[in-house]
Structure 1
Amino acid sequence: MLDTHARKFVQPSIDTTASWLLKKGKTPDQITITALFVGVSSSIAYLLGQPLLAVFLLWFSGFLDAVDGTMARRTKTSPFGTVMDITFDRVVELSIIFAIAIVYPEVMWPLLLLTGAIVISMTIFLVVGTVSEKAGMKSFYYQAGLAERTEGFLLFSVMMLFPNILFWTTLVFFAVELFTGVQRFWEARRILH
């Protein structure tokens, strides 16, 4: 929801960074790979007992993830770049979930529920994007929902910074992801019939 409705507020900084990186000769794929490494570094920082650094790295990887898309739209979008982008986003999310599970194994089952909800929601998102004839700014139909990347990062940040409410935050995240999956499923039924 925030990615769709609040992007206009951060887009100027994304545009500026994308322009600067393109002038430096960087490619969107290079930034996608950099975002992956920064995002996975977030989970490593968390495992090393540095939750503030972990949250910073997570958000920086998300920023780079937005920058690589802007760079791609200014040059030439690549189908494989889209595959890398979406796959690496999930790798970053899973690395955070694994790190939290290692540090707090007592919340394993809510984390498993969350992982399942993410898989369901993303499956619907990707299948609708593939079979839909609608197109937008991205290289596939982007199906908005309650939980987009920013909401996920907000909830991951709360999970990492406030372990005393980790159990409940994880269940809230699960509910939000599950709701998003249902929301996307019903939208798919409407637009694909």
Structure 2
Amino acid sequence: MLDRYAIKVIKAPLDYSAKQLDNAGLSANQVTLIGFFIGLSAIPFLAFQQYHVALALILLNRTFDGLDGALARRQGCSDFGGYLDIVCDFIFYSGIVLGFALASPEQNAVAANVLIWTFMGTGSSFLTFAIMAAKRNIDNTVYPHKSLYYLGGLTEGTETIATFVLFCLFPQHFAMLALIFAALCSVTTVTRILAAKATFADDKAPTNTSA
């Protein structure tokens, strides 16, 4: 919901930083992987309840996630680059939730599982819509710079990262915050399904006329 506004705020500093990375000879995919492994390194810190260190790593991961896109636009976007970025994002998101489950299994495990379950809904509804949109050559005018159709919703990247920040700042309330965000993710999944129905409902399955 907030991504379109956040992009406008961070675009200029990301473009400047991407220029420096380009001059240094780094590729967008290299930046994606560096950020990905930085993000994964937050998991053991979460497990050992070192929440402030984990928060710094999470924010650094998100910085690299913005930089790889800005760098790709300078160097030329590729389908594999877009694919790699999405895969790393979803693994990172679920990994952070896993870290909180490991930190306090008795208190957090159920809420963490519920949240990852709803992540499956937001992720599958997002990616499947993108596949169908590409099949129909539907362009996204809201996020034209994305490598695939970016279907928005109540819980986008900005809201997810804001929630992760809250998790780290108030870890004792993780279960409650996770269940609240899981409910919002469920709303996002439903609205995306409704959007897909409105967009693709005229698509009729072919009739088999063979004897």
Unaligned runs of 5+ in 2: 202-211
Equivalent residue, structure 1, for 2:138: 134
Measured after TM superposition, the shift of residue 41 of structure 1 is 1.3
- My pick for the range that moved more, 156-165 or 119-128, is 156-165
Cα deviation digits, residues 18-47 of structure 1 (max 9, x gap):
111011111000000011011111222222
Cα deviation digits, residues 113-169 of structure 1 (max 9, x gap):
111110111101001111102232212111011111121111112122212221210
Equivalent residue, structure 2, for 1:113: 114
Find the aligned partners of 2:197 and 2:23 in 1 and give their Cα distance: 43
Equivalent residue, structure 1, for 2:76: 76
Equivalent residue, structure 2, for 1:90: 90
Equivalent residue, structure 2, for 1:3: 3
> Quick check: which one's helix share is greater?
1
Equivalent residue, structure 2, for 1:103: 103
Equivalent residue, structure 2, for 1:124: 125
* Count of aligned pairs between the two proteins: 193
Cα deviation digits, residues 95-123 of structure 1 (max 9, x gap):
21111111111221111111111011110
Equivalent residue, structure 1, for 2:66: 66
- Helix, strand or coil: the match of 1:146? coil
Equivalent residue, structure 2, for 1:190: 198
Find the aligned partners of 1:94 and 1:164 in 2 and give their Cα distance: 19
Measured after TM superposition, the shift of residue 185 of structure 1 is 1.2
Computing the radius of gyration from Cα coordinates, the structure with the larger value is 2
Equivalent residue, structure 2, for 1:153: 161
Find the aligned partners of 1:50 and 1:83 in 2 and give their Cα distance: 31
> In structure 2, which of residues 150, 172, 176 is the aligned counterpart of residue 168 of structure 1?
176
Measured after TM superposition, the shift of residue 6 of structure 1 is 2.2
| Residue type at the aligned position of 2:163 | L
- Please say if residues 6 and 158 of structure 2, whose CA atoms lie closer than 8 Å, have aligned partners that are also in contact: no
Q: How does the TM-score come out when normalised to structure 2?
A: 0.87
Find the aligned partners of 1:124 and 1:150 in 2 and give their Cα distance: 18
- Please say if residues 4 and 144 of structure 1, whose CA atoms lie closer than 8 Å, have aligned partners that are also in contact: no
- Helix, strand or coil: the match of 1:184? helix
Find the aligned partners of 1:69 and 1:192 in 2 and give their Cα distance: 29
| Residue type at the aligned position of 2:32 | T
| Residue type at the aligned position of 1:173 | F
Find the aligned partners of 2:110 and 2:10 in 1 and give their Cα distance: 35
| Residue type at the aligned position of 1:81 | G
Equivalent residue, structure 2, for 1:12: 12
Question: Within the alignment, does 1:38 sit opposite 2:38 as a pair?
Answer: yes
CA spacing shift, 1:112–1:49, aligned 2, 3 Å: closer
Find the aligned partners of 1:175 and 1:69 in 2 and give their Cα distance: 29
- Please say if residues 100 and 160 of structure 1, whose CA atoms lie closer than 8 Å, have aligned partners that are also in contact: no
Measured after TM superposition, the shift of residue 192 of structure 1 is 2.0
- Helix, strand or coil: the match of 1:25? coil
